[in-house]
Amino acid sequence: MAEDIGVIGAGLGGLSAAIHLAVRGKDVTVFEKNSSVGGKASELQMDGFRFDTGPSLLTMPFVLEQLYDAADASAEERVELVPVDPICRYFYPDGTVLDASAHEETFRAQVRAMAPDDADAVTRFLDYSQRIYELTSDIFLFHSLTDLKALLSWKNVGILLRLPQIDPFRTVHARTTSFFRDPRIVQLFDRYATYNGSNPYAAPATLNIIPYVEYRLGGYYVRGGMYALVRSLESIARRLGVRFRFDARVEGIAVAGGKVTGLRIDGGHEPFDTVVSNADAVFTMTRLLDDGSPRALRRTRRYERLEPSCSGLVFLWGVRGQNSRLAHHNIFFSDDYAEEFDDIFTRRVPPRDPTVYVSITSHADPSHAPEGHENWFVLVNMPYVTDENRDAGIPEVRAAVLRRLRHAGLDIEGDIVCEETVTPADLEQRYNANRGSIYGISSNSRNAAFLRPRNALRSPKGLYLCGGAAHPGGGVPLVLLSGKLAAEAVR
Ligand SMILES: Cc1cc2nc3c(=O)[nH]c(=O)nc-3n(C[C@H](O)[C@H](O)[C@H](O)COP(=O)(O)OP(=O)(O)OC[C@H]3O[C@@H](n4cnc5c(N)ncnc54)[C@H](O)[C@@H]3O)c2cc1C
């Protein structure tokens, strides 16, 4: 007989877990506090514009393909992945513009034109980045760290003995400066630490794995926007028999005798002996599981010590006019990157001079904006929410964003025809993201990968975790993997 499994949350990790469980013949019900699927990967329609409110770039496409294959998805059920080139257009404060091409030779030529001494280092750096991926991906991404047998295989023990090659003892920034001389190229490669919400001046250089993932494994646009991917996973899950209950906020996970017994919803009790939580792992362990016992208190303290990733402030702007100077993904760098990260991670205040990310899908999908207009998704990294900074400084950041764009020759303020803002506090409140973090736990310390909550817990029995704050971490491909690992861990 099929076994009942309750999944808390219909974010990408929860959808992946539900699909993998249903493929294994389990009877799955997903409880989602909001009225639609996707979590942080949501969508907004406004005045004829369509926006993704969360992720915009898909990497490691094979993770999605594996999920589709596992579910035996038809061609119609799969989204179309479109390679983006350039992967990103970089605008520097000194007026230089650099296209980071997906084609390494072209990328090197671009770097050569701007920083001749650094061109050859691009290939050396990507080789070094690839080496980290080859040494670590199997153990840290594709397996659950609870899988002791896999962890202690000769191959993995061999990898752990080659620890210096995965570069955990220096910071991302220390390592990029050892490859590149031009501070602008250093800034470009330092930026990748933010892909999991970390600080390049603190995070271990192991995170230099990310440029390999982007440049050599590719960066993709999902035709129709990222929400098309969310819809595709929802419909596959439904085809496999997964049930969805929306506006169903789980108030707690019921436990008796060290085992999960069900979920508390709307004052009632839904019996389950297996629960996969896609709600933020720290939120799950501190707020859904807290029974007030001394043991729960100790556990809460332990989870609260995990440093959240940075948060983000999103402006969704319908913009009149079409800017041929902009690519699909654009970065407008700040004057002083170190100062910006000091604001975000040390002072925990909104950055006074933020780096600005702008993504426009209406270039690839013209139906996303009325004719003669563009849909701008604008993102600034922000500190995670604290009692002192909650919703502080939003108008100031907006002004700084517009200043930065003006500095690059884009005076668009008068052309914003409609606007919506998603603040760090919104992320916290809408999705129960721990302190509004975008990616879950930061990787600002050497042992962060080991401290990240596991997909299967020793206690209580029957509770499994997936999503950005659980192993292997945040970002679309990793949360899809987390769902797979959690489902595999369910016995
Ligand atoms: C602005 C922004 C930009 C990003 N850009 C990128 C990008 O370009 N590329 C990339 O790869 N990643 C990006 N990310 C990260 C990526 O979006 C996330 O890592 C991923 O979507 C998180 O998925 P998740 O499985 O952790 O679930 P979440 O999205 O956190 O969803 C969890 C779900 O659980 C629900 N829930 C929580 N508590 C309860 C409860 N008590 N009861 C019922 N339901 C509950 C929530 O409502 C939510 O739907 C971005 C994120 C943001 C916010």
**Domain architecture of the chain: domains with CATH:** 4-41+224-306+444-489 (3.50.50.60), 107-214 (no CATH)
The rounded distance, in Å, linking the Cα atoms of 65 and 78 is 9
Q: Where are the alpha helices (DSSP H) in 368-418?
A: 394-407
* pLDDT tens by residue, 419-435: 999 999 999 999 999 99
Closest C-alpha to ligand 1, atom 17: 55
* pLDDT tens by residue, 297-338: 888 889 999 999 999 999 999 999 998 899 999 999 999 999
Residue 2 pLDDT > 60: no
Closest CA to 378 of 331, 451, 305, 316: 316
Structure tokens at 434: 């721990």
Residue of higher predicted confidence among 450 and 173: 173
Looking at residue 154, what is its pLDDT? 59
Omega cis (within 30) before 204: no
Q: Which amino acids bring their CB within 6 angstroms of ligand 1?
A: 8-14, 31-34, 39-41, 54-57, 249-250, 278-280, 312, 314, 379, 427, 431-433, 438-439, 467-468, 474-476, 479
Residue with tokens 């390494």: 104
Closest C-alpha to ligand 1, atom 18: 475
**Cα 457 versus chain centre, distance:** 23
- State percent of the chain over pLDDT 90: 86
* pLDDT tens by residue, 367-387: 999 999 999 999 999 999 999
Average pLDDT, stretch 152-156? 63
Provide CB contacts within 8 A for 16, sequence distance 6+: 67, 233, 466, 479, 480, 481, 482, 483, 484, 487
Q: Please tell me whether residue 180 adopts helix, strand or coil conformation.
A: coil
Is the four-CA dihedral 232, 236, 237, 239 of positive or negative sign? positive
Give the distance (Å) from ligand 1 centre to CA of residue 9.
9
**What secondary structure letter does DSSP report for 286?**
I
* pLDDT tens by residue, 253-288: 999 998 999 999 989 999 999 999 999 999 999 999
Atom nearest to 474 CA in ligand 1: 19
The rounded distance, in Å, linking the Cα atoms of 337 and 339 is 5
**Cα 284 versus chain centre, distance:** 18
Structure tokens at 105: 């030779």
Closest C-alpha to ligand 1, atom 13: 55
Confidence grade of residue 13 (pLDDT, cut at 50, 70, 90): very high
Give the distance (Å) from ligand 1 centre to CA of residue 44.
15
Looking at residue 1, what is its pLDDT? 43
Give the distance (Å) from ligand 1 centre to CA of residue 338.
27
- State percent of the chain over pLDDT 70: 96
Give the distance (Å) from ligand 1 centre to CA of residue 335.
30
Average pLDDT, stretch 240-247? 98
Give the distance (Å) from ligand 1 centre to CA of residue 33.
13
